[in-house]
């Protein structure tokens, strides 16, 4: 479980001014209409989440993409390197994410190196390093031979 704490203060009629100088409206965070917070009160917002690290090799998962075509092509490229993988699907809210899982745990480091860590491999960046809905440019560049 990872925890992020964001601090700020209650600035005016339902507004929270964060240390980052952004303003968040209280009604965007909670549904309580009659919540009275005195002006100037210190506010701390905590965000807790379970980290899904789809690149680390945890549980044999070495790659993830929103694009099944991408995962299928990488799976075949790994098979050409004599690394066997299995396609898994995970639902993240309304999105589906396609995962590559290594069958033989001794192949994890070689597969991770081949996909994104080594300059001699595919040199891919994860999908989520691009704006939502955009294609993975690093994958498309590799696919086109650049």
- Number of neighbours of residue 60 by Cβ within 10 angstroms: 18
Let me know how long the chain is.
146
Same domain, residue pair 74 and 133: yes
pLDDT of residue 50: 65
Q: Burial level of 121, CB count in 10 A (0-12/13-18/19+)?
A: middle
Residue 90, domain extent: 58-143
DSSP-assigned beta bridge partners for residue 4: 47
Q: Which pLDDT tens digits describe the chain residue by residue (146 residues)? A: 678 999 999 998 889 999 999 999 988 888 877 788 899 999 999 988 766 677 778 889 999 998 999 999 999 999 998 999 999 999 988 888 999 999 898 999 999 999 988 888 889 998 888 887 888 999 999 989 87
pLDDT of residue 31: 83
Rounded to an integer, what distance in angstroms lies between the CA atom of residue 123 and that of residue 56?
Answer: 15
- pTM here? 0.67
pLDDT of residue 1: 66
Same domain, residue pair 82 and 111: yes
pLDDT of residue 51: 61
Same domain, residue pair 76 and 29: no
Q: How many domains does the chain have?
A: 2
């Amino acid at each position: 479980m990872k925890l992020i704490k964001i601090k700020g203060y209650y600035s005016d009629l339902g507004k929270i001014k964060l240390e980052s100088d952004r303003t968040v409206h209280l009604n965007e965070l909670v549904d309580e209409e009659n919540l009275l917070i005195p002006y100037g009160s210190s506010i701390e917002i905590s965000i807790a989440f379970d980290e899904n690290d789809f690149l680390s090799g945890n549980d044999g998962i070495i790659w993830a993409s929103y694009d099944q075509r991408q995962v299928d092509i990488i799976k075949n490229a790994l098979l050409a390197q004599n690394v066997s993988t299995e396609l898994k699907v995970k639902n993240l809210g309304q999105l589906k994410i396609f995962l590559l899982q290594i069958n033989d745990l001794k192949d994890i480091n070689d597969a991770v190196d081949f996909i994104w860590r080594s300059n001699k491999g595919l040199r891919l960046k994860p999908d989520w390093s691009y704006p939502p809905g955009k294609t993975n440019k690093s994958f498309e560049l590799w696919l086109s031979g650049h």
